[in-house]
Amino acid sequence: MSAIDRCDVICFGIEGIDPTALECVQQFWAAYTAPEDCIQAQCAITGKSPIRIASKLSHKIKGVPRTQASGASLVSAFRDSFTSFGLKQARNSPISLEAAEAFSQALAHLINDPACHLRTKSGIAVYWATTAGAAKVDLLDLATPDKVAALLQAANSGDERALGVNAGDFHLLSLSGGGGRVIVRDWLQTPIADLNRNLARWFSAMQIGCAGGKASRPFSRYQLAAAMFRDPAKELEKQPRIMDELLGVALAGRIPSLDLLHRVLTRVRIGAIGGQINIAAIALIRLILTYRGIPMTSKLDEPMEGLSERQKTAYCYGRLMALCESLQTAAAGNQRPNANITDKTYTTFSTTPARIFGRIQASQSHNLGTLHKRSPRLASWFEKQLAQIYDRIPANVPSTFGLEEQGTFGIGYWHEKFQAQPTGKHNQTTANEGAAKDTGKTTDAGATKNAGATNHE
């Protein structure tokens, strides 16, 4: 017999029988350890009656963000406002001691198993499924390109086995904390196949064209949420509902709120000043618009069917903004001014275009005249591109753009800036895109430099 360690648990048996497995022994110890104030009532979870109900559940849930290290209560009623019909504390929601023990142990397992939860600084979403590994929910926070590509291919081809058809249901419980109490933020139950289809739609909706016509890489839930804040490490923790809402959009196909669109548009307007645009922000804009019934294109010059006339106009105005910026840079000898036309007019042009449209046209005329003296062929290329855009916009300039139209403006700006070039070469912009993969941001230095990199004379 090996030495016994002081941390070992010792059990005993009688003629090969484990006493702790006997129902009569379990009932005895349950009665012996039960609180003195137990009553006999029907359990709200199991429906069993009569069964022992305690006035206060002592089971603590550990590991939930923003809760005490000693654990927090999932069920509590500590104020008079939480009582009814003269019932006190936990008796307002009668839960048997056996049920409380069961859900406490189940939650502890899900919280401690990395394969069974998605964790952020402000909350945790635990999940389980009928068939282990069938749900691809881990892609939300990992977003591995090859696995995302496999999921998209399975959804497009209707591969029932890969999608998890007949694999059962998926369950998710989103939790956060408030001192000594656990807060239930969301609950989801859906077939695994539907969940995987929703995830495929999520990753497809965020694809946005980059330099050379390539699609952007998939983004994690955190990267998309971070695109809405200046300092996500500090600010996002104070807004736990942002991560919850993105989780609901991805897994349940819910429609994202306009608040998300407002936040990301604000960051894009700020980023446009100085040429710093987060590609994840543009991807999030396309995702939000797609879920809200606006089928934005992922690449430049793809058909814009399903868009209203104002949305098409806003998209073309965004392209016009980017083209005027490249024209200004080319006219200046590929030297970016300290404050270019985008820095000065992006916010106004994307929200109240009628106020600034005349100034945009005056800038075009001036820069085209300057460029004609330096490079007539390059100036002709810009004139052709401008003519194509003007052919698609109405004569009457809209006075204002709503949030969804501002979103289409931003995507149009991105498409024109990082996809349309005066030459077929995208070397500098492609390098710029590679840098964006590491930082999440792209500068316009590469794009504007490439705009006139080739001698057209």
Classify each residue of 87-108 as buried b or exposed e, where b means 16 or more C-beta atoms within 10 Å of its C-beta: bebbbeebbbbebbeeebeebb
> How far apart, in whole angstroms, are the C-alpha atoms of residue 313 and residue 290?
17
**Average of pLDDT values for 17-30?**
82
**Average of pLDDT values for 210-238?**
86
Predicted TM-score (pTM) of this structure: 0.81
> How far apart, in whole angstroms, are the C-alpha atoms of residue 5 and residue 156?
57
pLDDT in tens, 317-373: 999 999 999 999 999 887 777 788 999 999 999 999 999 999 999 999 999 999 999
Q: What is the largest CA-CA distance in the chain?
A: 104
- Higher-pLDDT residue of 418 and 182 is 182
**Average of pLDDT values for 302-330?**
90
CB atoms within 10 A of CB 424: 7
Q: What is the predicted pLDDT for the residue at 444?
A: 38
Q: What is the predicted pLDDT for the residue at 247?
A: 93
**Average of pLDDT values for 153-180?**
82
Q: What is the predicted pLDDT for the residue at 437?
A: 39
DSSP per-residue codes, 179-248 = BTEEEEEEEEEEEHHHHHHHHHHHHHHT--B-GGGPBPPP--HHHHHHTT-SSHHHHGGG-HHHHHHHHH
pLDDT-above-70 percentage for the chain: 88
Average pLDDT, the chain: 83
- The owner of tokens 């939300």 is 140
- Higher-pLDDT residue of 423 and 198 is 198
**Average of pLDDT values for 440-455?**
36
**Average of pLDDT values for 249-261?**
95
Helix axes 240-252, 258-272, angle to 10 degrees: 110
pLDDT at 149 over 60: yes
Q: What is the predicted pLDDT for the residue at 315?
A: 94
- The owner of tokens 């389980």 is 128
Question: For 87, which DSSP code?
Answer: B
Q: What is the predicted pLDDT for the residue at 361?
A: 94
pLDDT in tens, 431-444: 333 333 333 444 33
Q: What is the predicted pLDDT for the residue at 443?
A: 39
Q: What is the predicted pLDDT for the residue at 272?
A: 86
pLDDT at 297 over 50: yes
Candidate from 115-124, 321-330, 416-425 with smallest mean pLDDT = 416-425
pLDDT-above-90 percentage for the chain: 45
Q: What is the predicted pLDDT for the residue at 434?
A: 35
pLDDT band of residue 386 (cuts 50, 70, 90) is very high
pLDDT at 21 over 90: no
> How far apart, in whole angstroms, are the C-alpha atoms of residue 95 and residue 68?
23
- Higher-pLDDT residue of 135 and 282 is 282
Q: What is the predicted pLDDT for the residue at 421?
A: 61
**Average of pLDDT values for 300-312?**
82
Q: What is the predicted pLDDT for the residue at 100?
A: 87
Q: What is the predicted pLDDT for the residue at 387?
A: 95
Q: What is the predicted pLDDT for the residue at 88?
A: 72
Phi, psi of 183 (to 5 degrees): -110, 125
pLDDT at 451 over 60: no
pLDDT in tens, 38-74: 778 888 888 888 887 877 777 889 999 989 888 898 8
pLDDT band of residue 159 (cuts 50, 70, 90) is confident
What single letter denotes the amino acid at residue 275?
G
